[in-house]
């Protein structure tokens, strides 16, 4: 098979973020503008050079407002990606495809989110009657994303012998990484296995520490051509491979109504990603895996080919996810569970830091870094390389 024509043609050249917190005064739009301005400064690119914009369809501050506030130039490529946490890598991927095909020269992708925003917690809104596919779960008290994933988790534990200790391996690894990252919400909050096992339930078999954080904040990246990237100030994080995945007969979050519900979107995005890559899973020294809930990690490890089916929980044993000595240091900034939950966009910026060599849990000379988006929704994945 020939080399994928989009391999390494584009690069992330700037990253920016706001502080993370709860109850930040800024609007989502203001947060977005801060993060994008920071990313452009980081890249050394002028706002009037930006001609491409890609955002989440859930974004409150859309392209028009972002462009007017930041004083961007004429925008010639703009699009949005749906499905919440599944969209993060896809916004970068769409930006990269647009740059690689000459639809624009400098594209910005971003995510801003406030936990109090209506669009952030759709489950908390009582509507008169439930329509569409939600009417097959919500009337029975399956209200929140955590309940939806708890149902899949219980089945996964039953089928493959996964235990709460495996889920604790995930939570504790990411917390350790956050404890080294001054930007992380949980920077100064260590977590022990005893505290994990004693935590209150949210939706059995998932406890408090199996859940991501609730965060206000924003992040942005700047994507341009490999040629331009070579002239900018940071080591480029080349977009080596990109893929999306919407499996046959998939259903958003309530993926119970298909032949094999434990074969999630990563089983589609993963093989496609590797087919476009010079790297194989065994070549990947560090990963940022979408972690709205801890059980998504074993599911993703399987779908992205780091282990066989049903082996994802066992993969987490012996500190495998922990920096510096684990076989696959994962979510090295703390991820959604311990740094910030901004629909997984902080996983993208952390992957860029790993490529640059500036992570607070730096894997030496990381040749590439995998980033994934939501497992449980139509998803996307990126492989960045130096």
Which active-site residues does the annotation give? 290, 341
Among residues 43, 55, 100, 150, the one that binds another protein under rule CB under 8 A = 150
Strands 106-113 and 52-56: parallel
Would you say 203 or 354 has its CB closer to another protein? 203
With binding defined as CB under 8 A, does residue 138 bind another protein? Answer: yes
Among residues 17, 79, 203, 225, the one that binds another protein under rule CB under 8 A = 203
Segment contacting another protein by CB under 8 A, of 135-143, 164-172, 190-198, 279-287: 135-143
With binding defined as CB under 8 A, does residue 259 bind another protein? Answer: yes
Distances (CA, A) of 199 to 45, 104, 202, 204: 46, 49, 9, 11
Distance CA 377, CA 89 (A): 13
For the bound state, the minimum distance from the C-beta of residue 44 to another protein, rounded and expressed in Å, comes to 44
Site track for another protein across 111-130, x = CB under 8 A: -------------x-xx-xx
> Would you say 176 and 322 are in contact if contact means Cβ atoms under 8 Å apart?
yes
Among residues 48, 163, 192, 249, the one that binds another protein under rule CB under 8 A = 249
With binding defined as CB under 8 A, does residue 143 bind another protein? Answer: yes
Token pair belonging to 102: 């000459």
Distance CA 231, CA 372 (A): 28
Who's near 124: CB < 8 A, 6+ residues apart? none
Q: What angle do CA 370, 306, 212 make, to 5 degrees?
A: 60
Segment contacting another protein by CB under 8 A, of 79-87, 108-116, 203-211, 298-306: 203-211
Burial 253-288 (b: 16+ CB within 10 A, else e): bbbeeeeebbbbbbbbbbeebbebbebebeebbbbb
With binding defined as CB under 8 A, does residue 204 bind another protein? Answer: yes
Distance CA 214, CA 218 (A): 13
Phi, psi of 49 (to 5 degrees): -85, -15
For the bound state, the minimum distance from the C-beta of residue 149 to another protein, rounded and expressed in Å, comes to 9
Among residues 22, 46, 155, 309, the one that binds another protein under rule CB under 8 A = 155
Segment contacting another protein by CB under 8 A, of 73-81, 136-144, 342-350, 366-374: 136-144
Segment contacting another protein by CB under 8 A, of 75-83, 200-208, 236-244, 327-335: 200-208
Residues written for the chain: 386
Burial bucket for residue 338 (CB in 10 Å: 0-12, 13-18, 19+): buried
For the bound state, the minimum distance from the C-beta of residue 267 to another protein, rounded and expressed in Å, comes to 19
Binding site for another protein (CB under 8 A): 124, 126-127, 129-133, 135-144, 146-147, 150-155, 158, 200-206, 249, 254, 256-257, 259
């Amino acid at each position: 098979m020939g080399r994928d024509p989009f391999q390494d043609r584009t690069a992330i050249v700037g990253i920016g973020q706001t502080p993370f917190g709860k109850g930040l005064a800024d609007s989502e739009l203001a947060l977005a503008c801060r993060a994008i301005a920071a990313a452009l400064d980081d890249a050394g690119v002028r706002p009037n050079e930006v001609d491409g914009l890609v955002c989440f369809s859930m974004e409150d501050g859309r392209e028009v407002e972002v462009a007017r506030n930041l004083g961007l130039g004429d925008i010639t490529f703009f699009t949005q990606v749906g499905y919440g946490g599944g969209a993060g890598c896809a916004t970068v991927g769409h930006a990269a495809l647009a740059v690689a095909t000459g639809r624009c020269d400098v594209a910005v992708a971003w995510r801003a989110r406030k936990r109090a925003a209506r669009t952030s917690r759709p489950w908390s809104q009582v509507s008169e009657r439930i329509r569409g596919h939600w009417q097959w779960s919500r009337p029975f008290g399956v209200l929140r994303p955590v309940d939806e994933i708890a149902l899949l988790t219980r089945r996964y534990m039953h089928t493959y012998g996964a235990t709460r200790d495996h889920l604790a391996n995930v939570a504790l690894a990411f917390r350790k990484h956050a404890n080294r990252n001054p930007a992380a919400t949980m920077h100064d909050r260590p977590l022990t296995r005893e505290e994990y096992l004693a935590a209150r339930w949210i939706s059995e078999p998932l406890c408090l520490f199996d859940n991501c954080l609730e965060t206000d904040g924003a992040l942005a990246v700047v994507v341009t051509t490999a040629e331009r990237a070579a002239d900018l100030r940071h080591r480029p994080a080349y977009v080596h491979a990109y893929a999306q995945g919407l499996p046959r007969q998939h259903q958003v979050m309530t993926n119970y109504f298909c032949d094999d519900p434990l074969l999630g979107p990563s089983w589609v995005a993963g093989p496609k990603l590797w087919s476009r890559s010079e790297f194989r899973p065994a070549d990947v020294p560090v990963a940022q895996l979408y972690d709205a809930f801890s059980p998504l990690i074993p599911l993703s490890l399987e779908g992205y080919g780091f282990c066989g089916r049903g082996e994802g929980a066992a993969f987490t044993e012996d500190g495998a996810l922990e920096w510096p000595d684990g076989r696959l240091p994962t979510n090295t900034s703390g991820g959604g569970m311990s740094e910030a939950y901004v629909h997984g966009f902080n996983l993208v910026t952390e992957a860029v830091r790993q490529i640059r060599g500036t992570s607070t849990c730096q894997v030496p000379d990381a040749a590439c870094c995998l980033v994934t988006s939501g497992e449980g929704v139509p998803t996307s994945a990126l492989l960045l390389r130096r």
